[in-house]
Amino acid sequence: MLPLLFKIGFLPVDLWDFLDVFIVALILYQLYRLLKGSIALNIFVGMVLLFLSYQVFQALGMNLLSSILTQFINIGFVSLIIIFQPEVRRFLLLLGTNTLKQRDSVWSRLLGREAEVHANSPELEDISRAFQRMAASKTGALLVCTQEADPDTVITGGTPLNSDISYGLLVSIFHKESPLHDGAVVIENRRITRASAILPVSENSKLPAAVGLRHRAAVGVTEKIDVVCFIVSEETGKISFARSGELERGIDERRLRDLLLNYL
């Protein structure tokens, strides 16, 4: 039994109570951050309100209401997992991938591998040039890059490819007359593995209204798995970047190169 810290009215508060409240607050805050901007946040708030009402009804001795709410709360945990399946999946995936990445980058830094792998990469050069050209000609483009995540879990359709990255190939794929120009090109570990792929579209209501399907698809896939996307807008010719559900719009050539250096 830990020593009493203080009393609120008749309620004794010890260190465990303090820790209890702190940990619950932390979990709720992390959940809020994870769900922010998605429709799941409304469901989560609804669930919390339901639970609080149950506690109040029980304290007031309103038996009929609390027994009805008990039924909801009893199946609550399973239904939460079903409703939040994409969020739970995303959370676990990000957790695992980040842990693995941190371990890898420590080794890379120790072995001095990072700089060697990325310096003067012809692939980086080719993507950057292709994007500048497509931006200038207002050719819509959508590129997904992944190193660790398996895109097959959320990306569907398209034409499988197994090709080196090249300026000519990228420009040809996204050319308006090309049968493969619709959808996304997927690059896995510096190889083009798919064209015309279909990505999950984001439901984030915080994205600007002017953001169309191409950009929403780019944001959507980065919400679900650990990938990044580069986009050229057909409407404005601007280049954008999506990562972890966030969209950075209107990036210049220098920023594009920096991002490619980090994420290709």
Q: Does 233 bind ligand ATP (CB under 6 A)?
A: yes
Residue 90 vs 194, nearer CB to ligand ATP? 194
Instruction: Tell me which of 214, 223, 228, 239 binds ligand ATP, using CB under 6 A.
Output: 214
Instruction: Tell me which of 24, 212, 258, 262 binds ligand ATP, using CB under 6 A.
Output: 212
Instruction: Tell me which of 67, 213, 250, 255 binds ligand ATP, using CB under 6 A.
Output: 213
Question: Tokens for 86?
Answer: 């994409």
Per CB under 6 A, which of residues 122..151 are in contact with ligand ATP?
140, 142
Instruction: Tell me which of 34, 199, 259, 260 binds ligand ATP, using CB under 6 A.
Output: 199
Compute CA distances 60 → 44, 54, 57, whole Å.
25, 10, 5
| Residues 175, 206 contacting (CB under 8 angstroms) | no
Phi and psi based region of residue 253 (left: phi greater than 0; alpha: psi -120 to 50; beta: remaining)? alpha
Q: Does 224 bind ligand ATP (CB under 6 A)?
A: no
Instruction: Report how many residues bind ligand ATP under the rule CB under 6 A.
Output: 17
Place of tokens 């702190």: 22
Question: Tokens for 203?
Answer: 């439901």
Helix H or strand E segment including 100:
helix 85-111
Q: Does 90 bind ligand ATP (CB under 6 A)?
A: no
Question: Tokens for 75?
Answer: 């199946």
Q: How far is the CB of 212 from ligand ATP (least distance, A)?
A: 2
SS3 11: strand
Residue nearest to ligand ATP (CB): 212
The single-letter DSSP state of residue 212 is -
The residues, ordered by sequence, that sit 6+ positions from 244 with a Cβ below 8 Å of its Cβ are 94, 222, 223
Q: Does 215 bind ligand ATP (CB under 6 A)?
A: yes
Q: Does 201 bind ligand ATP (CB under 6 A)?
A: yes
Look at the chain and count its residues. Answer: 264
Q: Does 251 bind ligand ATP (CB under 6 A)?
A: no
Q: Does 261 bind ligand ATP (CB under 6 A)?
A: no
Task: For residue 162, count CB atoms less than 10 angstroms from its CB and return exposed for 0-12, middle for 13-18, buried for 19 or more.
Answer: exposed
Per CB under 6 A, which of residues 166..185 are in contact with ligand ATP?
182-184
First to last CA, the chain: 55
Which amino acid, 233?
S
Residue 35 vs 218, nearer CB to ligand ATP? 218
Residue 127 vs 184, nearer CB to ligand ATP? 184
Contact segment (CB under 6 A) with ligand ATP among 3-11, 167-175, 228-236, 254-262 equals 228-236
The footprint of ligand ATP (CB under 6 A) covers: 140, 142, 182-184, 198-199, 201, 211-215, 217, 233-235
